[in-house]
Amino acid sequence: MQVKNALTIDLEYWHSPELIRGFVPEKRDDLIIEMATPILRLLDEFGVSATFFVLGAVAEKYPALVAEIHSRGHEIASHAYSHRTLHELGRDRFEDEVHRSVRLLREITGEPPIGFRAPSFSIDNTTRWAFDVLERHGFRYDSSIFPVETHLYGVRDAPLGIYRPSAENVAENDPNGRIIEFPLTILEYARKVPISGGFYLRVLPLNVLKRMIKRVNEERPAVIYLHPWEICPLMPRLKLSLSSRFITYHGIKSTREKLEGLLASFSFAPAREVLEL
Ligand SMILES: [Zn+2]
């Protein structure tokens, strides 16, 4: 039988990513409705349900959108409230955000979220208090650890497969840990290659991605992530540095087709279902 992989979508504003936040002349929050439409249609077409990690600020301003996503059978999970990283927030403000976002999501769906993804994958050993906060607010799993160090984020030496992070060191498994971690997928292949989504999904050719996911699936399920703006031509063009421009815009035109290729070749489900929670 085919391995079930987790398909996860970070539902945030197009201007939420850290890399572009300072360069936005006009926020146009309302674009989120138009940007969410193509991905929802695509998932319907393929009969796939996914996990949506929803930003609290989006749930507050566009509750009908979140209700619509939920009514189509997708899992509603939390992406905190403001998209500030955990490093910026610190423990107390993070806890306020978690509390607020749980309340907002529960009002919409009628049930508390059990899954969490930190903005900019900002859980590492300096913010490991996050697991304690998540546990106290009823979360069962997290999908924020990026087990390779990049210039923006990452935890070197973290396990590549599903594990339970220890309270002392998030890169270590503790069988008694209360939160299950579903780390972003890395293929170990001469060196560690992130293949899980976002920029990497946009930059890698479909046949290479397919081969890599197959390799991962020999051992474990993969988690794929993307943002609605990544398959939407409406993404506003900003004046960014060359490297930020590349990271932000590369492959937006081809990503929709690539995603279709993946949906046709692999089995996908919400993270909660893959983790059997
Ligand atoms: Zn995000």
CATH code for position 270:
3.20.20.370
Q: What is the pLDDT of residues 114-141, one digit of tens each?
A: 999 999 999 999 999 999 999 999 999 9
Does position 102 have pLDDT exceeding 90, yes or no? yes
Q: Is pLDDT at 244 greater than 80 in this prediction? A: no
Task: Give the per-residue pLDDT at 87.
Answer: 96
pLDDT single digits (tens) 170-190: 999 999 999 999 999 998 877
Domain count, the chain: 1
Ligand 1 center–CA 79 separation, angstroms? 7
Distance of CA 207 from the midpoint of ligand 1 (Å) = 27
CA 85 to ligand 1 centroid distance, Å: 9
Mean pLDDT along residues 72-76 = 98
Distance 1 CA to ligand 1 centre (A): 32
Q: Where in the sequence is the domain holding 234, given as residue range(s)?
A: 4-274
pTM of the entire structure? 0.94
pLDDT of residue 78: 98
Q: What is the mean pLDDT of residues 210-230?
A: 93
Q: Which residues pair with 78 in a beta bridge?
A: 54, 116
Per-residue pLDDT band at 247 (split at 50, 70, 90): confident
User: DSSP string covering 181-248, please?
Assistant: E-PPPEEEESEEEE-SBHHHHHHS-HHHHHHHHHHHHTTS--EEEE-GGGG-TT-------HHHHHHH
